[in-house]
Amino acid sequence: MQTREYAIQCLKDEAQAILDLIPYIDKEFDDAVELIFRCHGKVIVTGVGKSGHIGAKIAATLSSTGTPSFFINPLDVFHGDLGVMTKDDVVLAISNSGQTDELLRFIPMVLHMEIPIIGMSGNPQSLLAKYSSCHLNVSVKKEACPLNLAPTSSTTATLAMGDALAVALMEKRNFRPQDFAHFHPGGELGKRLLTTAQDVMRSDDLPVITPDMHLGEAIILVSKGKLGLGIAMNADDTIAGLITDGDIRRAMEKWKVQFFNKTVSDIMTVTPKTVTRQTKISDIQKMMNRYKVHSVLVTDKERHLLGVVDHYSCMI
């Protein structure tokens, strides 16, 4: 078997291990979700070795999706970390065998504090399963490792079960993109969902024109504005309409030599798309895609012009 074939077989084995978890999404899983959902404290994830590494990732996923969580090594509990735990917490304990000695020595302390335990292991008959309030079965038929020794399929299955928990809790909490953004303010999604029109709009040197201005003069101001548009303003400083490069090109094709006798009012859109200062960039992008426009005007309640947000402003 060639090297590439070993890799393909590994992926197949791990994919099958995940699919084999489906029958284990049962009442125990429902109980685990409900236990975490009703938790008034934190979810404390713990595990040793590879299970610990997977546990740290599960804790991070839970925290970023609305469930306050963090990982602790059970070995550290014997040196003071037990102080972070309260009766309002829930412990998610992970061990493939369910018999890991360092983890089992930690369990009596948790039970003494009357903290509920969600066990996650590949052995429903293990001591971990026995002492857990509910147990999530992540057993696999074999490891993807050709020696059937290195944790591969088992860690993949455990990670997938942790993701399943997080996703189920997101739905139960009605967790939405705006909530996700608050936990990821530094990421691209967070920026788009938290940034508003006021943060990115151009408000200086706007290409302002008047409805009665001849198109020959308007072209010059539109070109200098470098936004591909001109904003027609009324005498009372309210917006009368909008012309774009496209409007100008179509007018030239239609009227030819008569073009320079026409005014802005002849081609302007009298109902341009507008937003408020507080409109999120994500909503502006949706508006641009829906109406096939590359710019929107930022206005106040009285329809006074505050600025312009174009397609490139949204590319943060």
pLDDT at 183: 59
Higher model confidence: residue 9 or residue 184?
9
Query: What tens digit of pLDDT does each residue of 71-125 get?
Result: 988 877 655 566 678 889 999 999 999 999 988 988 888 898 899 999 999 999 9
Query: What tens digit of pLDDT does each residue of 219-229 get?
Result: 999 999 999 99
Taken in order of first residue, the domains within the chain and their CATH numbers are: 3-175 (3.40.50.10490), 197-314 (3.10.580.10)
Q: What is the mean pLDDT of the chain?
A: 90
pLDDT at 179: 62
pLDDT at 1: 62
pLDDT at 174: 87
Query: What tens digit of pLDDT does each residue of 274-310 get?
Result: 999 999 988 898 999 999 999 999 999 888 999 999 9
In order, the DSSP letters of 63-110 are: HHTT--EEEE-HHHHTTTGGGG--TT-EEEEE-SSS--HHHHTTHHHH
pLDDT at 48: 92
pLDDT at 135: 97
pLDDT at 148: 86
Higher model confidence: residue 312 or residue 154?
154
Pair of tokens at residue 196:
């508003």
15 pLDDT more than 90: yes
User: Which of 68-82, 201-215, 244-258, 295-309 bottoms out in mean pLDDT, i.e. has the lowest?
Assistant: 68-82
Higher model confidence: residue 191 or residue 176?
176
- Dihedral class, residue 25 (left if φ above 0, else alpha if ψ from -120 to 50, else beta): beta
pLDDT at 253: 93
Q: Tell me the H-state helices in the chain.
A: 3-19, 27-37, 50-64, 74-77, 101-104, 107-112, 127-130, 153-172, 177-183, 188-194, 197-200, 215-225, 245-255, 264-267, 281-291
pLDDT at 102: 87
